[in-house]
Amino acid sequence: MSDIYEVIHRRRDVRGQFTGEPIPDDVLARVLAAAHAAPSVGLSQPWDFILIRSAATRAAFHEHVMHERDVFAATLPDSSSFEKIKIEGVRESTLSIVVTYDPDRGSPAVLGRHAIADAGLYSVCLAIQNLWLAATAESLGVGWVSFYRESFVQEMLGIPPSVRPVAWLCLGPVTHLESTPDLERHGWRRRTPWQEAVHSERWPSFTPGRED
């Protein structure tokens, strides 16, 4: 039994603490079933989960990510604070999970999507957060890698052009979860108090996000 608030606040985006140990089948089943229990627009359940254990596939993705890391670093006026930040644990984690969005699931008439085309994409993200929290409850780490081009992942995994890769997740046992996010520990950015994000009745008139 894992208290939901404890899990929500303990959850981290993991890069450096993966051990590579196996994930028991029953644990993985619970985590995937939790993801699949997410809400979805028009009950379309437009997600798929591709589990990747192949070392060759993960090495190829890792190489691509390292290239995209360099692309981002080159855009920074000063990349010194970025250089010490580890951005992925693709090879050290036990499993990669690619989560995709299929807009044709539930078509032609997806209830609730006619006015907001991205609503299906939003559903996929809700499933990802369920997965993330369930994994945290199971004492697994999750890291969402986003230094990649969608077309690279589509080609590598044979994903059709109409299906969009939404996330590359690294999953597996970890030595521990850090109590402070990596980006905060490394001085990249600090978290704000939740009260700064909450407003009453309308968008605030002054500096957005700074008063109610």
Per the document, the length of the chain is 212
Residue 203: CB minimum distance to a second copy, A: 4
Residue whose CB is less far from a second copy, 18 or 132: 132
Residue whose CB is less far from a second copy, 80 or 191: 191
Residue whose CB is less far from a second copy, 12 or 92: 12
Residue whose CB is less far from a second copy, 21 or 104: 104
Residue 46: CB minimum distance to a second copy, A: 9
CA distances to 40, 114, 162 from 124, in Å: 8, 17, 15
**In terms of Cα–Cα distance, which of 21, 4, 26, 17 is closest to 133?**
4
Residue 104: CB minimum distance to a second copy, A: 9
Residue 173: CB minimum distance to a second copy, A: 18
Q: Name the β-bridge partners of 167.
A: 99
Local structure of 166: helix, strand or coil: strand
Q: Phi first, then psi: what are they for 108, rounded to 5°?
A: -80, -25
Residue 21: CB minimum distance to a second copy, A: 20
CA 4-2-126 angle, to 5 degrees, is: 45
Compute CA 195 distance to the chain's CA centroid, rounded to the nearest angstrom.
24
Residue whose CB is less far from a second copy, 19 or 146: 146
Residue whose CB is less far from a second copy, 21 or 118: 118
**Cβ(90)–Cβ(65) under 8 Å?**
yes
**In terms of Cα–Cα distance, which of 99, 14, 90, 87 is closest to 54?**
90
Q: Residue 42: what residue type?
A: G
Residue 172: CB minimum distance to a second copy, A: 17
